[in-house]
Structure 1
Amino acid sequence: MATIRARKLASGVVTYTAQIRIKRDGVQVYQESQTFARKQAAQAWVRKREAELDQPGAIERANRVGATVKEMIERYVLEMEKARALGKTKLATLKAISESYLGEVNDEDLNCQILVEYAVWRMGPEGGGVLPQTAGNDLAHLGAVLSIARPAWGYQVDPHAMGDARKVLRKLGYNMRSRERDRRPTLDELDKLLTHFQGILAYRPSSINMLKMTAFALFSTRRQEEITRIKWADLDEEGNRVLVRDMKNPGQKLGNDVWCHLPPEAMAIIQTMPKAVEEIFPYNAESISASWTRACKFLGIEDLHFHDLRHDGVSRLFEMDWDIPRVASVSGHRDWNSMRRYTHLRGRGDVYAGWQWLDVVLKAPVNLGARTLK
């Protein structure tokens, strides 16, 4: 049932408020009102709105309280971390999105235009002036949330909004794809880093053994999170291989357990670790990253990430004339295209043949300290 009431304002202007009330079995189930300057406009709105509300499910949709982007992100993080902790970069990005103006947008209102505006805002001075690739990463992480928000939790998310936004941004000339890193550590940089880590261990023996972590990451080509998850039970010494659990893969985040071959240098490093706890390298991945970042800053080494050791390790194997299947048996890559991103050749041969630091790493004592109490 609809009513239209005229109201005279203090200025003498007359407005018309149209109100729609819908009852079912004597109980009011919906109410909505709008104010117009003309009675004819109010009448037209009533006719149009009553026709819309007469459609199946319209009342339920109209009464629905929408969820904000921030609420969707919070639920995503909560549900995902029940299975496995999200990476710190993804967590930080999602938190930043939820705390921005985009976090207050309702699921029903989130569309292509809003996503494009957000990406452009991020690239502008008010949004941080980030590179297009960074804005693209923002959309990618948010896209992971939206991809399950509708089918898993029933949020009213436009399934085409993210894809359309990316198409629009490409048409506008923004290159949102991440830049492929080709950074590899030099022998001089590694010499400085390992000397620095050696000094830290000399006065704090129970700190993270970054000597072994650095060398193992390089020779095994393993990611830091993978290294800290490896247990003694996952090691096959006779087969010179290790089971890498939940290996990172775009299409399979969990349960992607892969047996990876260990080059002799990596196996030798493992054999110097004490069997005091379940994990071979019982360290915190974030602490490893922080230690590496502090060292690079202190030594003036620019733009070198711990993950670049994986690039170096994969490239080294190709420089030693290993073929693609053999390299993949170490790195765990499933296809050449993804492996290619890690391959940046400098020449031929093993640059680490006779490397003085390998012997130092193997002989370095390990003091796990309080970690043995777990």
Structure 2
Amino acid sequence: MATIRARKRTDGSVSYTAQIRLFRDGAQVYQESQTFARKEAAKAWVRNREAELDQPGAIERANRKGATVKEMIERYLLEMKKVRPLGKTKLATLNAIGESYFGELHDKDINSQKLVEYALWRMGKEGGDVKPQTAGNDLSHLGAVLAVARPAWGYEVDSQAMGDARKVLKKLGYNMRSRERDRRPTLDELHRLLTHFHGIQARRPTAINMLKMTGFALFSTRRQEEITRIQWADLDEVGHRVLVRDMKNPGQKIGNDVWCHLPPEAWAILQTMPKERPEIFPYNAESISASWTRACQFLEIEDLHFHDLRHEGVSRLFEMDWDIPRVASVSGHRDWNSMRRYTHLRGRGDAYVKWEWKDKILQAPVALGARLMK
């Protein structure tokens, strides 16, 4: 049953409120109303909406309360925590989205227009005045939540909304893709950093051994999270390989275990670690990142991340004339396109062939503290 009532506004104009009320066995089971500026529009809405509600299960779907974006994010974080904690950047981004106005939207209200509006809001002054790449990262992390919300939990999420939003933003001229980093540490920067870490080790022997971590990350090309997960049981002593568990990959983040070759320099560093714990480097990945950041700030080394050591390591192998399959056997890359972003060559040959810190890193003593892991 539908009714349309005319209401006079304060400015003298007339609006039309269309109301739909549905009954079953004498009891009202659904009610909905919308207001329009024209009576014809109200009638058209009533016809279309009644046809939609006449479909099997439509009333039940319309009555469901649904879930907000914030609630979906919270559920996603809870489920992911059971498997493996998210990176701090993704975690912070998702929590920020949940606390924003977008977090109040219900699942069925999410569409491409709303996603475009959010991205434009983020790039505006009120939303933080971020770069398009940062807004693109927001959409990427949010997309991970929406991708599982419908098939896993039954939320009404338009599976095409994110793709359509990205197409629109691209047509509007926004480059939402992250800029590829080409930052590599210089030998002088590494010398300053390792000298700094050597001093810390002398004063506090049980601190994170950043000498070993830096050298191993550089020569193995491994990420900091991967390094802290490596166990002695993961080594292939004969093949000089290591099983990297849950290696980062866009299509498969959990259970993506890959055997990676360790160059001689990395293998030698690994063998100097004490076999007192199951983990070879029993440190917290976030603490490693914090130590690196503090050192760079203290030494006034700008824009150098711990992850840039992976970049340096891969580029070094190419400069030594290693071919793509051989480099990939170390880095774990599956294809050239993903490996290409790590290769910004400076010349030919091994810049570390006579590097003084190779022996210093090997000879550095290691004292594991009482509390190292999480």
CA deviation digits over 1:283-330, x for unaligned, max 9? 000010011011101110000000000000001111111111111111
Report the Cα distance in structure 2 between the residues aligned to 1:354 and 1:93, rounded to whole angstroms. Answer: 43
Matching of residue 362 in structure 1 with residue 371 in structure 2: no
Q: 1:243 is paired with a residue of what secondary structure? A: strand
Report the counterpart of residue 318 of structure 2 in structure 1.
318
Report the Cα distance in structure 1 between the residues aligned to 2:12 and 2:147, rounded to whole angstroms. Answer: 52
1:257-296 counterparts in 2 under 5 A?
257-296=257-296
Matching of residue 182 in structure 1 with residue 182 in structure 2: yes
Report the counterpart of residue 347 of structure 1 in structure 2.
347
Q: Does the CA contact (< 8 Å) of 2:2 and 2:19 recur in 1? A: yes
Report the counterpart of residue 206 of structure 1 in structure 2.
206
1:27-66 counterparts in 2 under 5 A?
27-33=27-33, 49-66=49-66
Distance 1:353 1:156, change over 3 A: same
Report the Cα distance in structure 1 between the residues aligned to 2:216 and 2:91, rounded to whole angstroms. Answer: 27
Report the Cα distance in structure 1 between the residues aligned to 2:133 and 2:12, rounded to whole angstroms. Answer: 56
Q: Does the CA contact (< 8 Å) of 2:284 and 2:372 recur in 1? A: no
Report the counterpart of residue 136 of structure 1 in structure 2.
136
Stretches of 4+ moved more than 4 A in 1? 1-20, 33-49
Report the counterpart of residue 217 of structure 2 in structure 1.
217
Instruction: Show structure 2 runs of 5+ residues with no match.
Output: none
Instruction: Show structure 1 runs of 5+ residues with no match.
Output: none
CA deviation digits over 1:312-361, x for unaligned, max 9? 00011111111111111111111111111111111111111121111111
Q: How many residues align?
A: 374
Q: CA deviation at 1:132?
A: 1.0
Q: CA deviation at 1:57?
A: 1.9
Residue type at the aligned position of 2:331: S
Q: CA deviation at 1:42?
A: 7.3
TM-score (norm 1): 0.92
Residue type at the aligned position of 1:137: N
Q: Does the CA contact (< 8 Å) of 1:243 and 1:258 recur in 2? A: yes
Distance 1:237 1:106, change over 3 A: same
Report the Cα distance in structure 1 between the residues aligned to 2:48 and 2:373, rounded to whole angstroms. Answer: 71
Distance 1:345 1:284, change over 3 A: same
Q: Does the CA contact (< 8 Å) of 1:319 and 1:347 recur in 2? A: yes
Q: CA deviation at 1:170?
A: 0.9
Report the Cα distance in structure 2 between the residues aligned to 1:87 and 1:295, rounded to whole angstroms. Answer: 21
Q: 1:259 is paired with a residue of what secondary structure? A: strand
Report the Cα distance in structure 2 between the residues aligned to 1:80 and 1:359, rounded to whole angstroms. Answer: 41
TM-score (norm 2): 0.92
Report the counterpart of residue 159 of structure 1 in structure 2.
159
Moved more, 111-120 or 46-55: 46-55
Q: Does the CA contact (< 8 Å) of 2:283 and 2:373 recur in 1? A: no
Q: CA deviation at 1:48?
A: 5.4
Q: Does the CA contact (< 8 Å) of 1:282 and 1:371 recur in 2? A: no
Report the counterpart of residue 335 of structure 1 in structure 2.
335
Q: Does the CA contact (< 8 Å) of 1:245 and 1:255 recur in 2? A: yes
Report the Cα distance in structure 2 between the residues aligned to 1:136 and 1:178, rounded to whole angstroms. Answer: 7
Distance 1:57 1:350, change over 3 A: same
Report the Cα distance in structure 1 between the residues aligned to 2:5 and 2:356, rounded to whole angstroms. Answer: 90
Matching of residue 232 in structure 1 with residue 218 in structure 2: no
